[in-house]
Amino acid sequence: MDLLGGEQADHGEAVRVGDRAVSREGLFGWAAGVAAEIRGADVVAVHATPTLETVAAVVGGLLAGVPVVPLPPDSGPAERDHILRDSGARFVLAARGAYEGEGPPVIPVDGLSGSGPEAGTPADATALILYTSGTTGAPKGVLVSRAAMAAGLDALAEAWAWTPEDVVVHGLPLFHVHGLVLGVLGALRVGSPLVHTGRPRAEAYAAARSRGGSLYFGVPTVWSRVCDAPASAQELRRARLLVSGSAPLPVPVFERLEALTGHRPVERYGMTETLITVSARADGDRRPGYVGTPLRGVETKLVAEDGSPSPADGETPGELHVRAPMLFSGYLNRPEATAEALGADGWFRTGDIATIGADGWHRIVGRASTDLIKSGGYRIGAGEVENALLAHPAVREAAVIGTPHADLGEQVTAFVVAEGIESEQLIDFVAERLSTHKRPRIVHLVETLPRNAMGKVVKTRLHP
């Protein structure tokens, strides 16, 4: 089976975005027209708005065997120009009149049509160049091969019992792994129809049940908003599986979602460089605060700061290393960065701190750079403190970081969105539930937390 060769059940519509839909035959005819326009180009960019034009453009790139760079539509001029220059994109594919940026020539994809098979492209050829968020420097281009995507999507289909009889529903951006690779290319590979809601609104997720929505994707912010709309949440009781990813799902949201929908959500873990490597299964346990066990073909291990192995005892944290067939091929034009992250033995250093239990269950503590706090000789995971704060009924959002402390080295500092409570009360609340050394020394009450397009808190932008 080729990358997009899933056999679709008889649903008529293959992809619906908002109030527009296209059949599988119509989509591939449209994409073949795109492929005819770009075949022979080294790289093309796609103005990745949540539209059918974006889907047709990406599929056209795959049919033509041309690497595709999804361009975030909300990117500022500096970020956009960096991505276009760094990738060497020859054209920008976009809906007519939708893209106004400078740079390569724009090819309007509206109305194109054609025919012809997918290009005979090697499995290890680059399919997508996905750019990282750039929180620690300029965004890097991540080279994702056709074989990596196929391996990752097939492993997820197995874990989630994902079949052509499912109808996938989500409203996520189409320039990340979650919304594009899983939510669009996964549906096309499996052969299951896709309903993209345009925006991830609770009422739109509920309305998609009328179209047979069964497999729902969302980030924690989406599921939190679903919980804030009980009538919409009740509609999801008839879904088959609710999947959460792209950021840790707070335990209180997990519990509220279960109470309202009857579903214990499936959590999974991945990165742009790895796609999805760890997940709970449709036919297995689902534990709040944990991301599951390795998918088929995936190996994981924990490494201590001194390079020695960390024990898989469920308690001792270490940096998570991953080896799997769905790993990226390297960073575009950055051999040193590639060599630093991806060893010759195939192990990728994720930069995430995790624990692994004797039963193989993984819990992500956070990023080594921002979420592992070293205070007074203790190593404290920010996520554990965040979950403790979120357990208070007055707290809506929480983010925890380490800040400099003259005696402790670092102190636990929290930024909290809450109503009707004082900082000292929250400090005492955490101290009653966790070890005393894990309590926040400082709690800043704020109106909002800075987040990126996928709903992740950008901790580098947290300031008192």
CA dist list (Å): 166 to 26, 214, 215, 219: 20, 6, 6, 20
Quick one: tokens of 325?
Answer: 């067939």
Which domains, ranges and CATH numbers included, belong to the chain?
13-362 (3.40.50.12780), 370-461 (3.30.300.30)
Sheet hosting strand 141-145, strand order edge to edge: 106-108, 91-94, 44-47, 68-71, 126-131, 141-145, 330-331
Quick one: tokens of 398?
Answer: 């929480």
* pLDDT for the residue numbered 118: 65
Strands 330-331 and 141-145 come out as: antiparallel
Please work out, in degrees rounded to the nearest 5, the angle formed at the alpha carbon of residue 377 by the alpha carbons of 374 and 380.
40
* pLDDT for the residue numbered 1: 41
* pLDDT for the residue numbered 381: 78
Consecutive 10-residue averages of pLDDT for the chain (464 residues): 60 90 94 94 97 97 96 86 94 93 91 73 90 71 97 98 97 94 97 95 97 95 93 97 91 93 97 97 95 98 92 92 98 95 94 94 84 76 86 92 84 94 93 86 93 79 82
Strands 106-108 and 126-131 come out as: unpaired
Q: Where are the alpha helices (DSSP H) in 160-301?
A: 187-190, 202-207, 220-227, 230-235, 251-261
* pLDDT for the residue numbered 303: 95
* pLDDT for the residue numbered 454: 66
Q: pTM for this one? A: 0.84
98: left (phi over 0), alpha (psi -120 to 50) or beta: alpha
